[in-house]
Structure 1
Amino acid sequence: MSETGTTAQRRKHRHISPVWLIPLIALMIGGWMLYHTLASRGPEITLIMNNAEGIDAGNTMIKARNVDVGEVTSVSLSEDTSHAVIKARMNPGTGRLLNDDTRFWVVKPRIGREGISGLNTVLSGAYIQLQPGNSDQEQDSFEMLEQPPVAPPDAKGLRLHLTSAAAGSLNVGDPVLFQGFTVGRVENLEFDTEDRVVHYQLFIQEPYEDLVTTNTRFWLASGINFDLNSEGFSLGLGSLESLVSGGVTFGVPEDIPPGEPIGANSDMVFSLYSDEENALQGSFSHYLRYVVMIDDTVRGLSRGAPVEYRGVRIGTVDTVPYRIDLLQENQVEGFRIPVLIRIEPQRLQAQVNEASIKEWRARIKAMFDNGLRASLKTGNLFTGALFVDTNFVDNPPEQKLTEYNGVTVFPSEPGSFAQIEQKVTGLLDKLNNLPVESSLNRLDATLASSESLLNELNDTASSLNEVLDDESTRGLPSDVQRTLRSIEQTLSSYSSEAPAYGELTSTLRSLEQLMRSLQPAARTISEKPNSLIFNRGEIQDPQPRARQ
């Protein structure tokens, strides 16, 4: 019998060498150190700015309240080269400072409206200022501000919004004034391309926020306010700061209740006016619109000109001209200029509502029937500015109330200029009817004869000068003097004391006696001429006879 033998097989076991524990432990220690390093360092953020001037990687620090909270690690251009991209590593524990309303800006030497700032960076270099926000939403990418913010988000005060159609009127940092005292700043501005208006954000410091009420009006403070209108000349000077940089001021117009403070949570939006007068006009929310048809020229009449009644302002000119329509009936021949005016009862009555507006409209309609008319008058001779004057006229013609483009027509009469023009036209017509041409012809003939007469006088004067220059003419005065002396001697010989005078007197007396003695002979010869030859005879008395 054979025995089967079993061969034992030896199996080899592989054991990990203890040597491998060393790199494993090193790997674990390295991982723990890496985790500790990553966990202990702060977050990395990305800052975007237009110009990286003064920013140096590894040197420029990020500060909050003058405490280092991070460092710039790299500065590069964006892929489209439109801006600079800055990478910065924040210190551990600063993650709570980074949220969606955190703001960054570069601190460097600046000269602004509030003075010179950032002088400490002249030697140390520029740094990035961090202003923490209040939001709970974390963020790691930010756009840096070009200018430092006016006030931090948690500053106590009032933030409000203004709208204006004039872009460029204000800039960030311009002062907000109340009666010349700075109470805030312009914090932000943005132009709305759809509505084409500018939105301004203002910050009013505490404790001045209660000065802004529901009836507050805002207008530009230009520093120098020069106004030359129909009411005359005015010049206003603001504060030195507003004189240099401008700004915005606010207040409540006179004769208007102060109103209630709007509060910090109000979403009320205010309008920004160009000046105080326009702000006052904006406070009249209830008014009546009328159209005045003007026969005169409207040169000198502008928007905002006053509408007065016997010197008291009752309204404002709104539009010059107002929707001219040449195709409208009765406008082609006697074309008149439509002017839109506003009658503002709030100038005369403090409390005005819709019900009182209806009463005012009915009252003015009754005044039209009694002769209330509008006309243009000169408010300032220096500028030629016009205003609309309303007054009652005597014996007004009957006029039917009409409308122009849906607006009631305010009856009008020619102004002072039109009346003067009519008088001048009448005078010119009279002058045209005068026989001017024939008078001018006679005048020409008279001038011609006068000219010939002057020529003759010139010739006579020349001849007279020649006679006077003659030597014989110069001796005439002595000859005339001798002749006058001879005449004087002759006349003196016939004086009452001279002998010739006595002889002449006796001769005249003898002649008188002779004439008297000859009178009968002369009478006889007159009655009968042949009496010198024949006997005269007796003369019969005349017999009366009847008329044949």
Structure 2
Amino acid sequence: MNRQALVGAFVLGGIALLVAAFVLFGNFHPFTRTEKAVLVFNGASSGLSVGAPVTFRGVQVGAVDRVVIEYDANTKKAFIPVYITMRPDNIVLAGSNKASMPHLRDLVAQGLRGEMNLRSFVTGSSEIDLDFAPGTPAVLHPDIATVTEIPTKQSTIQAMTQTLQDLPIKQLGDNANTAMIAIQELSEQLDRDLPPLVKSVHETSDQSQAMIMATRDLVEKLQPELMRTLQSVDRLANAGTDQLDARGKELHTLLQTSNDTIARAGKSLNNIDSMTSPRSAERVNLEASLRDLAAAASALRGFAGDVERNPQLLLTGRRQ
């Protein structure tokens, strides 16, 4: 009896340890509320296997139960539903009562979305990451999902992969090949044209250097003559300045004399104007003198006529 009791106790202890291991280290949580959900992916699910963790910003909230391939023969499209077991008790909405834990449908309505990301670059394993993204449209598949569906969004790696797939690799390769051919042709052309060009540059440089030397020699030869010419110009300028200074006084005297002459001429013109004025006394006297002269000339002409007719008048005179 003691041996049987010992064996029974050992078996019960082993079973208890096994259950504790499942509870502590596995996905078996007999006292935690779980919900089933499905995520439908359009792309490949490489590295995703049963038992892969389902995390929410790094915190594990579930595990992958099954990965299935759904192929639609009508649309020729293949979908990959990933069935998971969630423990929504680990997610608590702020301000809500803990007695009423949220359901997956409520979390999906709040914007819960899932994406597939690479878990390890070494092993190539993947995991499901959940996060709230209300801005991402919820694309559901009611024909495929038999349980609560969590909408999916494209992961960063998938976006990069899609971008790389959409790149026109062939066109880029053709453009690169064309560019390499053009570079090779340009290199060959440079190999043909560059030596004559370098030679021409050297010859031009030699000619320029010779011209510079000749110019320098000419400048050195002309420098004394230029200095003498500048000195002559300087002396001429000084002489011109002296002459202008000497003639300045004469010009001043000439201008003063001219001004005086012009003033006198102005006075003479004023006198002549006053004399020729109809009301001036000089003009009246002048007109009277002219009348007297005219009368005397008339009498003289009469006397001359009488003498011409009778010359004796010069001796006897006129008789009264």
TM-score if structure 1 supplies the norm length? 0.33
The counterpart of 1:217, out of the listed 18, 38, 45, is: 18
Match for residue 501 of structure 1 among 215, 230, 252? 230
Question: Which structure's residues are more often strand, by fraction?
Answer: 1
Q: Which runs of 5+ in 2 are unaligned?
A: 93-99, 240-320
Structure 1 vs Structure 2: percent identity of aligned residues? 19
Deviation at 1:460, TM superposition (A): 4.4
Say yes or no: does 1:158 pair with 2:20: no
Aligned to 2:86: 343
Structure 1 residues 312 and 490: alpha-carbon distance in aligned structure 2, compared to 1, 3 A threshold: same
Where does structure 1 lack aligned partners over 5 or more consecutive residues? 1-133, 135-152, 161-203, 219-249, 255-276, 350-358, 511-548
Shift in CA distance, 491/423, structure 1 to aligned 2, threshold 3 Å: same
- Cα 1:370–1:329 shift into 2, 3 Å: farther
Distance 1:382 1:449 in 2: 46
Query: Which one of 47, 60, 63 corresponds to residue 316 of structure 1?
Result: 63
Q: SS of the counterpart of 1:301?
A: coil
Judge conservation of contact 1:314–1:347 (CA < 8 Å) in 2.
yes
- AA matched with 2:110: N
Question: Pairwise CA RMSD of aligned residues?
Answer: 5.0
Q: Is the contact made by 2:61 and 2:87 (CA closer than 8 Å) also made in structure 1? A: yes
Greater helix share, 1 or 2? 2
Q: Does 1:376 align with 2:116?
A: yes
Cα distance in structure 2, aligned partners of 1:464 and 1:252: 87
> Equivalent residues in 2 for 1:206-245 (5 A)?
211=13, 215-217=16-18
Equivalence for 1:74: none
1:307–1:313 contact (8 Å) kept in structure 2: yes
Structure 1's 281 and 347: CA in aligned 2 closer, same or farther, altered over 3 A?
A: farther
Q: 1:309, 1:389 within 8 Å by CA — same for their partners in 2?
A: yes
Q: What is the aligned counterpart of 1:386 among 102, 126, 133? A: 126
Given that residues 290 and 341 in structure 1 are in contact (C-alpha distance below 8 angstroms), is that contact kept between their aligned partners in structure 2?
Answer: yes
Within 5 Å, give how 1:270-281 maps onto structure 2: 277=25, 280-281=26-27
Counterparts in 2 of 1:502 and 1:415: CA distance versus 1, 3 Å: closer
CA distance in 2, matches of 1:449, 1:308: 57
**Alignment length (residue pairs):** 230
Whether the 8 Å contact between 1:284 and 1:346 is mirrored in structure 2 is: no
Deviation (angstroms), 1:333: 2.6
- Matching residue within 28, 33, 38 for 1:282: 28
Report how far residue 341 of structure 1 moved. 1.1
- Give the deviation of 1:388 after TM superposition: 0.8
Which structure 2 residues correspond to residues 195-214 of structure 1 after superposition, within 5 A?
Answer: 204=10, 211=13
CA distance in 1 between counterparts of 2:141 and 2:106 reads 11
Aligned 8 A contact 1:310 1:389 in 2 = yes
User: CA contact under 8 A between 1:290 and 1:340: conserved in structure 2?
Assistant: yes
SS at match of 2:103: helix
Q: 1:63-98, CA deviations, whole angstroms, 9 ceiling, x for partnerless residues?
A: xxxxxxxxxxxxxxxxxxxxxxxxxxxxxxxxxxxx
Higher relative contact order (CA 8 A, sep 6+): 2
**Deviation at residue 318 of structure 1 after TM alignment:** 1.5
**Counterpart AA for 1:415:** S
Structure showing greater Rg: 2
Partner Cα distance (2:116, 2:91) in 1: 22
Whether the 8 Å contact between 2:38 and 2:145 is mirrored in structure 1 is: no
Where does residue 222 of structure 1 map in the other structure? Answer: none
TM-score by length of 2: 0.52
Paired amino acid for 1:490: L
- C-alpha distance in 2, partners of 1:155/1:288? 42
- Alpha-carbon distance in 1 for matches of 2:214, 2:140: 101
Any idea what the Cα deviations from partners look like across 1:232-290, whole Å, max 9, x if unmatched? xxxxxxxxxxxxxxxxxx75744xxxxxxxxxxxxxxxxxxxxxx3xx22344763222
